[in-house]
Amino acid sequence: MKVNSHKRSKGFSLIEVIIALGIVALLLTGFLGVFGSAQKNIQRSLSIKEANQLKDSLETEMAVLRSGEKSYSGTDYKNHFEKAFDMVKNASDPSKAVIVYQYKALTKDTDSGDQQNDGILPPYTDANNVPGAGYITQVAVRRVGPQDTLITRELAPDAVDGTVYAVRITQLVSDPTNSSLKLGSRGKIQHIVGAALEDATDSDVFNSAVITFQAEFYRLPSNNYGYISSGIWDFEKLGNPVATINMAARR
């Protein structure tokens, strides 16, 4: 009897390898789909948590008039409502944006003059200390232009803490035909005069006690003041807002 001396080598054929790769790819696709959904849910919950803090900070800032605060045109505000009116009217322009961020602040006010009475703590720039001992974390709501000096020092690399958000603010106006609210025109404040909507030139002539508005919070890709003041960004290029909230500023 003749015996075949050549033993068949054991291994996988090309077809078996292709089938195995297909199964692995199918399993990975399912895993990534589940993981991706979970990650989106985590991000969504964080955004909701952040949104509450962002809303409260913006609402508080619009209700406070600080010592020495200037308007976008450089004049002194007469009251907090004039400031809120100015913010709603101008904040859709990136060069006059309202920005919100956290920074490390000293535990006591060491400023002098008007800045000592403005209720704003100076930034802490020593990277070697620990929270609570040398600094506390403050949420800041600032206007690009009138508050550039504050923004520059609070966004110093050792002071800024995390993401900077830009807020696009658009008035919600009453529809004269049915009294429902709708988005107004960016860069304008309007009120009902007679049976029509008309532009309100300033807070003194605005004939309502409340300005209702929509605030859209966008994450900026950089927390560097040079980027924020550069004019190279605009709201249309920032993607979707992390939060959109209807709010109101009152006299």
pLDDT over 90 for what percent of the chain?
45
Residue 107 lies in a domain: no
pLDDT (tens digit per residue) in 208-236: 999 999 999 999 999 998 898 888 899 99
User: Tens of pLDDT along 142-160?
Assistant: 999 999 999 999 999 889 8
Answer whether residue 4 is part of any domain: no
**Does the pLDDT of residue 206 top 50, yes or no?**
yes
Round to whole Å and give the CA distance between 27 and 11. 23
pLDDT band at 33 (very low <50, low <70, confident <90, very high): low
Position 148 scores a pLDDT of: 92
Is there a domain that residue 243 lies in? yes
Q: How far apart are the C-alpha atoms of 159 and 157, rounded to whole Å?
A: 6
pLDDT band, residue 130 (cuts 50/70/90): low
> Higher confidence at residue 134 or residue 203?
203
- 28: in domain: no
Is 210 among the domain residues? yes
The answer to whether residue 211 sits within a structural domain is yes
Residue 13 pLDDT? 74
Kindly tell me if the per-residue pLDDT of 4 is higher than 60.
no
Domain that holds residue 221: 60-99+163-250
Taking the CB of residue 194, how many other CB atoms lie within 10 A of it?
7
**Domain for residue 89, yes or no?**
yes
- The pTM of this model reads 0.76
Q: How far apart are CA 120 and CA 134, in angstroms?
A: 16
Bridge partners for 212 per DSSP: 248
Number of domains in the chain: 1
